[in-house]
Structure 1
Amino acid sequence: MLVRELTERADPLRLRKDVEFLADRPRSRTRAPEAMRRAEAHVASELAAAGWRTERQPFDVRWQLGATDRQGDRALSFKPRLHRRLTGENLLAELPGADPDRPTVVVGAHLDTVDGSPGADDNASGVAALLEIARLLGGLPQPPPVALMVFDMEELGLIGSRVAARRLRRTRRIAGMVCLESVGYFTSEPGAQKMPAGFGTAFPAVAKEVRAAEHRGDFTLVVHRRSTQDAALMWRQAARATEPSLPAITLRDPRPDGALGALAGLCAPPLMHLSRSDHASFWNAGIPALMLTGTASFRNHRYHQPNDTPDTLDYPRLAAVAVATAATAVAWPARSAG
């Protein structure tokens, strides 16, 4: 079984080293550019060591409605800012020898942080998991059609992933996208897991699961839409088979992919929280996507703060996230959920 093979090869200590390197300081294209370049160099070096070809994809955009990257735990939609001009760079990595005729599965994570936070959970955890996925998939006998992306300027309003989603849609067939967002913080303390206002009414089945577990934050939330329902269930099944076994809760966003879904979120506040990372850029571009998350500010009180540090993360469980994601990317459903 692929999950068992990948679990044997995954290394929590390697994940910890990546997080400690990345999260020793804040990193941002606009506020901390040297730290951002240092982090990018580490990511590119680790991808190359795992056998991946890395392409730098610079972008230059103007008059973008986005967000401020000041400290604080408010959702992107409540921190609006109009950016006059932004120049950044995404990283795209692919394995030589992957079948070009098969649609690509994209696994992505953002590298930047808010001002003043080293961002261990948000989002060095996601980038570290992505690097571990690169090592796991790079060791397979047949390279799968999977692309890895490291996004710039997520904290400014998903700027880098907006550019990436549009570019990918023009240049290749995309089977789907998996977003790794704040995936390293877990707690078994009762009452630690919070829910947004109105969440219980909008998603009663999920709220019931959280209450039944006494609001413990010991699970990964898998946010999906109808187009990625099969992939979400596949991820949950793979997570159950990891060691340690990783609980997962799946949550279906009822909105359709594309512009209509983006507009619908403005009318329903609980839905806006489901679009708080780079997967939303792919949804808005009409590309099936799902988000893996530890729910960020609804579990981790260090979110966007100076004490979001490497010593607070659970590395065996982070390794399980990487394994389940790698296995899902390889076996991504051939058809969208009907």
Structure 2
Amino acid sequence: MSRHGALITDRRCPVAKDAGLAARLRRTVEALCAAGPRSTAHPQSTQEALCVIAQDLTANGYVIMEHRFGEAPGEVNLLCEAPGLVRSDVVLEVAAHYDTVPESPGADDNASGVAAVLEIAARLAINPAEVTVRFCLFGREESGMHGSKAHVAGLAQRGQSHRGALIFESIGYRDPKEDSQRSPLRVPWLLWLPRTGDFIAAVANLPSRRLCNTFAAAAATAAPWLPVHRMAWQGSLLRHAARSDNYSYWKQGYRALMITDTANFRNPNYHRSSDLPDTIDYEFMAEVVQAAHRAVQVLASATLAMAPPSAGGRSEPTESIPAD
């Protein structure tokens, strides 16, 4: 751990990589980007991308729930669940937005995130977790997080204890060159990003710090070659951390962790027509997915107790809560 943040990387533990994972992720990103931008201004390409997502999920045996929050093709969330083997009344969510800005095919932002959700869904279809894991693909993040807002607004009516959400937001761009990483600000003890863009950032607000710490520990076990920059509480202080779907959860008092390559602070293709599949580092993406899958396994344990968030949603009992 550095004086100014928490950059965690542990390469001492030999862990086998999934040899085919990078190739699978690439195929998904290419399929999502093939038709062009996925915005309300591009209904045809948006519908084609939704078909890609739906076909992938149904091929793994999931029943898709469509949650419409508008009439346009991109005004729909796609949801599905892997029921918990032990506790179906407790849910962990794994999510990403599928839409793009009008001018971009959105390989990093955010086909990379969608591909991560689909890969973890495929793995849990074979080996379900002890609690329910819900997979959420949100629409219209780029124009106001409308999909995630509509989803979070209905969580309390589902009658489940909400353990938290892992939000994938642009996870495919890595640049190992020195000074390739920018930062919105650099303040000792608050935010001090590394200057080399080869890490993944895990961004939480204070109530969500357990998710952040679990992800970092999971990466050290499942992807020890992946540097993780932990921001276990700073998210609530940074306006840039409120730009993605994690903020919809935070605002209503639910836990959520944003997992990101930092988007425009690293990727020169951000929100441009050049955000193409060939610019993505699929080995890096694979490392992030391996870490996230391990985090899901830990967070979806039936015996894990979580302190309630500061406000909002229904949470689990507070008895026997281990320290963060």
Q: TM-score, normalised by structure 2?
A: 0.83
Deviations 1:2-45 (A, max 9, x none): x9999547611010000011112433352011111111111111
- CA distance change for structure 1 residues 151 and 140 in 2, over 3 Å: closer, same or farther? same
- CA distance change for structure 1 residues 42 and 87 in 2, over 3 Å: closer, same or farther? closer
- Tell me how far 1:298 sits from its aligned partner: 0.3
- 1:335 and 2:323 equivalent? no
Task: Give 1:134's match in structure 2, choosing from 115, 121, 141.
Answer: 121
Partner of 1:167: 154
1:284-295 matched pairs, under 5 angstroms: 284-295=251-262
- CA distance change for structure 1 residues 24 and 169 in 2, over 3 Å: closer, same or farther? same
Deviations 1:96-142 (A, max 9, x none): 56445442110100000001100000000000111111112222165
- Tell me how far 1:244 sits from its aligned partner: 6.6
Give the Cα separation in 2 of the matches to 1:4 and 1:37: 42
- 1:314 and 2:311 equivalent? no
1:1-338 matched pairs, under 5 angstroms: 7-8=17-18, 11-60=21-70, 88-96=75-83, 98-140=85-127, 144-171=131-158, 172-196=160-184, 199-201=185-187, 204=189, 206-207=191-192, 210=194, 215-243=195-223, 245-254=225-234, 271-332=238-299, 333-336=304-307
Give the Cα separation in 2 of the matches to 1:6 and 1:89: 38
Deviations 1:27-67 (A, max 9, x none): 33520111111111111111112222211111139xxxxxx
- CA distance change for structure 1 residues 141 and 204 in 2, over 3 Å: closer, same or farther? closer
- CA distance change for structure 1 residues 8 and 92 in 2, over 3 Å: closer, same or farther? same
Unpaired runs of at least 5, structure 1: 62-84, 256-260, 266-270
Deviations 1:278-323 (A, max 9, x none): 0100111111111000000000010000000011111122112112
Instruction: Specify the code of the residue in structure 2 equivalent to 1:54.
Output: I
Give the Cα separation in 2 of the matches to 1:98 and 1:27: 38
Q: Secondary structure at the match of 1:157?
A: coil
Number of equivalent positions: 292
Give the Cα separation in 2 of the matches to 1:94 and 1:5: 29
Quick check: 2:39–2:101 contact (8 Å CA) kept in 1?
no
Quick check: 1:27–1:36 contact (8 Å CA) kept in 2?
yes
Q: Secondary structure at the match of 1:18?
A: helix
- CA distance change for structure 1 residues 97 and 144 in 2, over 3 Å: closer, same or farther? closer
- Tell me how far 1:254 sits from its aligned partner: 4.7
Quick check: 1:185–1:313 contact (8 Å CA) kept in 2?
yes
Name the % identity: 34
Deviations 1:162-201 (A, max 9, x none): 00111123213211011000000011011110011xx212
Instruction: Specify the code of the residue in structure 1 equivalent to 2:217.
Output: Q
Give the Cα separation in 1 of the matches to 2:265 and 2:110: 15
Instruction: Specify the code of the residue in structure 2 equivalent to 1:188.
Output: P
- CA distance change for structure 1 residues 87 and 313 in 2, over 3 Å: closer, same or farther? closer
- CA distance change for structure 1 residues 96 and 174 in 2, over 3 Å: closer, same or farther? closer
- CA distance change for structure 1 residues 154 and 9 in 2, over 3 Å: closer, same or farther? same
Richer in helix (by share): 1
* Root-mean-square deviation (Å): 2.6
Q: Secondary structure at the match of 2:70?
A: strand
Quick check: 1:59–1:87 contact (8 Å CA) kept in 2?
no
Q: Secondary structure at the match of 2:135?
A: strand
Q: Secondary structure at the match of 1:118?
A: coil
Quick check: 1:28–1:153 contact (8 Å CA) kept in 2?
no
The farther-off stretch of 226-235 and 287-296 is 226-235
Quick check: 2:74–2:139 contact (8 Å CA) kept in 1?
no
Instruction: Specify the code of the residue in structure 1 equivalent to 2:175.
Output: T
Give the Cα separation in 1 of the matches to 2:200 and 2:28: 21
Give the Cα separation in 2 of the matches to 1:163 and 1:237: 32
Q: TM-score, normalised by structure 1?
A: 0.79
- Tell me how far 1:335 sits from its aligned partner: 1.1
Give the Cα separation in 2 of the matches to 1:145 and 1:6: 27
- Tell me how far 1:95 sits from its aligned partner: 1.9
- CA distance change for structure 1 residues 194 and 227 in 2, over 3 Å: closer, same or farther? same
Q: Secondary structure at the match of 1:327?
A: helix
Give the Cα separation in 2 of the matches to 1:137 and 1:19: 20
- Tell me how far 1:240 sits from its aligned partner: 2.4
Give the Cα separation in 2 of the matches to 1:182 and 1:220: 10
